[in-house]
Structure 1
Amino acid sequence: MDEKPQADPEPDVNISGGVAGGGELAPFEVADIGTRAGRVVARLGELYWEKTYGGRDAFECLVRTILSQNTSDVASQPAHDALLERYADGDADLVNALADADHDELAETISGAGLYNQKSKMIRGAAAWVREEFGSEAAFDAFVTDEDPNAVRETLLEVHGVGPKTADCVLLFAGGQPGVFPVDTHVHRIARRLGIAPAEADHEGVREALEGAIPPEMCGFGHTAMIQFGREYCTARAPACLEDPDACPMADLCDQVGVYPETGEFVDPAEAPES
């Protein structure tokens, strides 16, 4: 498709790195999209950005994603920056620096991200694992980029503190793997509200539904654009359609599962009565 200017450039305060994180125009043809979920993601791309991901340092991406757990990008980004400032000194290998880091010092450095004692332990453990299993950041990066994505995912899930979303973010933003759709709280909520994933699905169920229905080259920006949509329009407590049925740019593609504009009420999609 022809490149077009992005109406809303991807924020830099974002697990993907935003505009600073790179990315190229995602190759897809709207006419080839045969699923409703694919059409939803195409609309989100029109609203925000249509790009592929990949090429970020795999270990730094792993650390950044651990920092983002249970907190916002606005809170975790400064913690990430502070960590790099303290531990990525010149040509020093970040893996070695964090594997040998003092727990309390690291916890203080990343305190702005919340749950800092837990995250300090997770990060130090992940660094020690990378050093023991791969020997260096470069070798870990090659593993994430070159090996079978399913094998990489299963390996990452064995690491303490690495859940499905964290593993998938490393595969997407570092490995550049197509067909990977990480599911965070925004994606879990919105995909079910829209009706493109089963209302009762857990995070893994939503991931499986989206990855099975959306063209692989669209999954990356589907993830980031859906998060942005969740921040701007379909928030957890104030979906835009409750204030004004015409306020949401996805209204014509949304099943509004669990959202009732006529009464101003909403429930979790899993609790919505079947129509």
Structure 2
Amino acid sequence: MDDEPAENISGGDGDAGRFAEFEPGDGTSRAEAVVDRLGDLYWQKTYGVRKTTSSSSAARQNAERSEDGRDAFECLVRTVLSQNTSDVASQPAHDALMERYGGSEARSAADSSSGERRDPRDGDGLAAALADAHRDELAETISSAGLYNQKSETLVRLADRVCEEYGGEAGFDEFVRTGDPGEVRAALLDMKGVGPKTADCVLLFAGGRDGVFPVDTHVHRIARRLGLAPPDADHEAVRAALEAAVPPEKCGFGHTAMIQFGREYCGAREPACLDGPEACPLYERCDRVGVDELAETVVDPAEAAGE
């Protein structure tokens, strides 16, 4: 199973947090200029994490972030549910999971129906509930997300590890928010079923870390098509290129906005530029690697580079 989602999940509820003004700057790099142009197109979403972004001479993002940010473990759970599926499919699975396992009442009902005593490692928390969950019941609960048998195994395994190593979700949340970012990322990647995109989403949406630019399928495709990263770059190389070229305080917005742009304009098979320059707001900033406008054909940038 590929640990990276086929489509993005933004890591926060669609209407969570507040919208903040995004003020494009001078674009000191080409990648930053692209993000600034995306800032003209979309409101910046605030991610509901426990800090406020700083200002810079290039851009001032008055992103007042909510104090009730997404817990790190729930963010991890949600991102796992999104793997190899869409938000439309993963959202109902997340809602059903939280209804069944997310609160003390749900947990008590689950314990009563199972007739088994649970390990009281984390009170009535979500991590403890999932660590003790019957996998068949969990799989049924998240069935709308696809690959539910594998995902149920992954969630139980992750929950058990969070309970064992961090004493539950509160300790895990503290580690994600205050630990050294490199150490946090390494710890997340050491968990089976967690890939770079998942780890970076947890750092960004739960940890509130500036300078993190998660790369999903949309970002991977668009960055290479635009010419912001080498055409044959893998996900990690694209991430490194974007994080080096985009100011830290703009990376989170750049991630969500690039995904939105991919959904609305720059699809894998039918990018808007095939309808002419006026159809795409990034036309003047794009190398269109792999796109032949005259022949109206589209290939992966890596394939185009190999020709």
Distance 2:305 2:210 in 1: 35
Report deviation, 1:89. Answer: 2.5
Q: Deviations over 1:174-226 (max 9, x none)?
A: 00100000001111001101111111100001000000100000000111111
The one-letter amino acid paired with 2:11 is S
Report deviation, 1:273. Answer: 4.2
SS of 1:79's partner is helix
Distance 1:29 1:42 in 2: 5
The one-letter amino acid paired with 2:137 is E
Report deviation, 1:145. Answer: 0.3
| Match of residue 22 from structure 1 | 17
The one-letter amino acid paired with 1:64 is R
The one-letter amino acid paired with 2:272 is A
Q: Does 1:182 align with 2:196?
A: no
| Pair 28,132 (structure 1): closer, same or farther in 2 beyond 3 Å | farther
Q: Does 1:200 align with 2:232?
A: yes
1:86 corresponds to which of 89, 100, 110 = 100
TM-score, length-normalised on structure 1?
Answer: 0.90
Identity in percent: 65
| Match of residue 114 from structure 2 | none
| Match of residue 155 from structure 1 | 187
Q: Does 1:233 align with 2:265?
A: yes
1:104 corresponds to which of 124, 136, 144 = 136
| Pair 38,128 (structure 1): closer, same or farther in 2 beyond 3 Å | same
| Match of residue 116 from structure 2 | none
Q: Deviations over 1:126-157 (max 9, x none)?
A: 10000000112111111000011111000000
Partners of 2:132 and 2:156 within 8 A in 1? yes
Partners of 1:26 and 1:51 within 8 A in 2? no
| Pair 26,16 (structure 1): closer, same or farther in 2 beyond 3 Å | farther
Distance 1:162 1:271 in 2: 28
Q: Does 1:44 align with 2:58?
A: no
| Match of residue 77 from structure 2 | 63
| Match of residue 216 from structure 1 | 248
> Which 5+ residue runs of structure 1 have no aligned equivalent?
1-12
Report deviation, 1:50. Answer: 2.4
Greater radius of gyration (CA): 2
How many matched pairs?
A: 262
| Match of residue 149 from structure 2 | 117
Report deviation, 1:20. Answer: 3.0
| Match of residue 28 from structure 2 | 34
Report deviation, 1:88. Answer: 1.0
The one-letter amino acid paired with 1:117 is N
Distance 2:23 2:274 in 1: 33
Distance 1:120 1:18 in 2: 22
SS of 2:88's partner is helix
| Match of residue 56 from structure 2 | none
TM-score, length-normalised on structure 2?
Answer: 0.81
Distance 2:14 2:148 in 1: 27
Q: Which deviates the most, 108-117 or 20-29? A: 20-29
Report deviation, 1:266. Answer: 1.1
The one-letter amino acid paired with 1:21 is A
1:257 corresponds to which of 289, 293, 300 = 289
Distance 1:14 1:149 in 2: 21
Distance 2:168 2:243 in 1: 31
Distance 2:204 2:179 in 1: 13
Distance 1:193 1:90 in 2: 48
Report deviation, 1:24. Answer: 6.1
Distance 1:237 1:152 in 2: 36
| Match of residue 88 from structure 2 | 74
Report deviation, 1:49. Answer: 2.2
Q: Deviations over 1:74-109 (max 9, x none)?
A: 111111001001111247310000000001110111
Partners of 1:189 and 1:236 within 8 A in 2? yes
2:169 corresponds to which of 90, 115, 137 = 137
Report deviation, 1:25. Answer: 3.4
Distance 2:168 2:269 in 1: 44
Q: CA RMSD in A?
A: 1.9
Q: Which deviates the most, 171-180 or 244-253? A: 244-253
Distance 2:10 2:75 in 1: 8
